[in-house]
Amino acid sequence: MHRWSIAACYTLEVAKVIVGVGGGIAAYKAALLVRELGRRGHTVKVVMTRAAQRFVGPVTFTGLTGEAPVVDLWDPSYAGEVHVELAAWADGLVVAPATANLMARAAHGIADDALTATLLCFDGPRVFAPAMHHRMWDHPATARNVATLAADGVRLAGPVSGPLASGESGMGRMAEPETIAEALEAALSDGRPADDLAGRHVLVSAGGTREALDPVRFLGNRSTGRMGYALAERAAARGARVTLVSAPTALAIPPGVDRVDVTSALEMKAAIDAARDGADAIVMAAAVADYRPSERADDKLKKTGGPLTVTMVRNPDILAELGAWRADSPRSGAGPVLVGFAVETRDLVAAARGKLERKRVDLVVANEADAAFGRATNRVTLVDATGEEALPELDKARVADRILDRVVALLRR
């Protein structure tokens, strides 16, 4: 694998990739995956099962890769053994679509065609993108095979829930090509010493603040803290010293992370202000309450016959105050990289751009409320002064890495 610098700031791994195409209707999307991998700079060779050729013609892949796909274990154009040569050539391997039958054969080490024989010879990063009817996906035999493959080190991209070939809807639809390409790149970069934040101090806030009404009740929000914790975990994995200021969550402290527990917005502000000097980057992933009850009752509030009226007062906007603090510092323009989040229900990018300017930060990570809360994945748009980049739906750790890639680039300015 080679590391190329693109446009002076982003780095991209380019790799030699085998795309194994199984026999399912989603095989047409394998063509889009091959094109996506090519667009990302990877060199692709395609191996097709016999059934795959009933869904999409080999010539399609010849057009996309400049090379005829391998469809036959006995291909005479290979002097040696085609599966052994392919496996020796590749840095990574994707199976898309991974049908129930193909996963069963792979899980049991059956090698009766070019693709399954190559799978047995290849021990590098492997990603399977399952696609099948939801009843096949739910079947215990498939579940056993998936568990076996996972134990053997295979990563899964998808499946996702949605319309299926049968006209029904359910879990079993192949993940989108971009998501599969991202999963492969994540698998390829595993084990690589990722130290591009070594020597840096990254301050992350996470979780939803709780604003107390009385000793037993609070006003809160739907944030679970997963995005902020993923950021803290990935920043630490990339070599940073990480301080995580966390509102209450059910999550464990990520390895190597220094966690400061807080409850309310005012406590979070105090903890952030105490840690901000010397930080190289501050990422405000927390959902901070904009208002708090004007007073907290000393005793539990008792119900009455009438309505309850609570007066709320504004909380400080921690991120906006960090933006102002940085702008007003004697070394104006210096100071930490500032990243904010914007969870919106409408006009996502416009609202994020407004926050970028109003809060004077470097990057705003915008997401739709329903795509964000409590889920393992997230679909975000990165908004900065130069434009916006819409990312596909990704695992939160991968979203964290993409945000940290931007932080690394901003630190190099």
* Span of 20-28, 183-191, 249-257, 284-292 interacting with ligand CTP by CB under 6 A: 284-292
291 Cβ contact list (under 8 Å, min separation 6): 211, 312, 313, 314, 315
- 24: contact with ligand CTP by CB under 6 A: no
Cβ distance to ligand CTP smaller for residue 240 or 288:
288
As separate numbers, helices (DSSP H) first and strands (DSSP E) second, the chain gives 15, 23
- 317: contact with ligand CTP by CB under 6 A: yes
166 alpha-carbon distance from chain centroid: 30
- 226: contact with ligand CTP by CB under 6 A: no
310 Cβ contact list (under 8 Å, min separation 6): 213, 293, 294
DSSP state of 259: E
Spatial separation of the C-alpha atoms in residues 147 and 371, rounded to whole Å: 27
Cβ distance to ligand CTP smaller for residue 138 or 389:
389
DSSP state of 70: B
Q: Residue 245 forms beta bridges with which residues?
A: 205, 260
Please name the helix (run of DSSP H) or strand (run of DSSP E) that holds residue 104, with its range, or none: helix 100-107
Question: C-beta of 280: minimal distance to ligand CTP in Å?
Answer: 18
- Tokens standing for residue 364: 């705003």
The footprint of ligand CTP on residues 351-370 (CB under 6 A) is: 355
Q: Which of 145, 221, 315, 378 is catalytic?
A: 221
Cβ distance to ligand CTP smaller for residue 67 or 347:
347
Instruction: With beta carbons less than 8 A apart as the criterion, state whether 97 and 29 touch.
Output: yes
SS3 content of the chain, % helix, strand, coil (to 5): 35, 25, 40
- Give the closest residue to 125 by CA, choosing from 99, 156, 81, 168: 156
Total of residues contacting ligand CTP (CB under 6 A): 14
The question of whether 145 is a catalytic residue gets the answer no
- 319: contact with ligand CTP by CB under 6 A: yes
Instruction: Find the binder of ligand CTP among 48, 184, 188, 342 (CB under 6 A).
Output: 342
Question: C-beta of 325: minimal distance to ligand CTP in Å?
Answer: 12
Instruction: Find the binder of ligand CTP among 340, 378, 382, 384 (CB under 6 A).
Output: 340
* Span of 136-144, 195-203, 311-319, 330-338 interacting with ligand CTP by CB under 6 A: 311-319
Cβ distance to ligand CTP smaller for residue 174 or 272:
272
* Span of 87-95, 225-233, 336-344, 390-398 interacting with ligand CTP by CB under 6 A: 336-344
Residue type, 104: A
Cβ distance to ligand CTP smaller for residue 99 or 224:
224
Q: Please give the angle made by the CA atoms of 119, 87 and 127, to the nearest 5 degrees.
A: 50
- 106: contact with ligand CTP by CB under 6 A: no
Q: How many CA atoms are closer than 13 Å to the CA of 308, on its beta-carbon side?
A: 8
- Tokens standing for residue 122: 């290849």
Spatial separation of the C-alpha atoms in residues 285 and 83, rounded to whole Å: 46
Instruction: Find the binder of ligand CTP among 290, 347, 370, 389 (CB under 6 A).
Output: 290
The footprint of ligand CTP on residues 84-103 (CB under 6 A) is: none
Instruction: Find the binder of ligand CTP among 243, 315, 367, 378 (CB under 6 A).
Output: 315
Question: C-beta of 287: minimal distance to ligand CTP in Å?
Answer: 7
Which residues bind to ligand CTP, rule: CB under 6 A?
265, 284, 286, 288, 290, 315, 317-319, 340-343, 355
Catalytic residues: 221
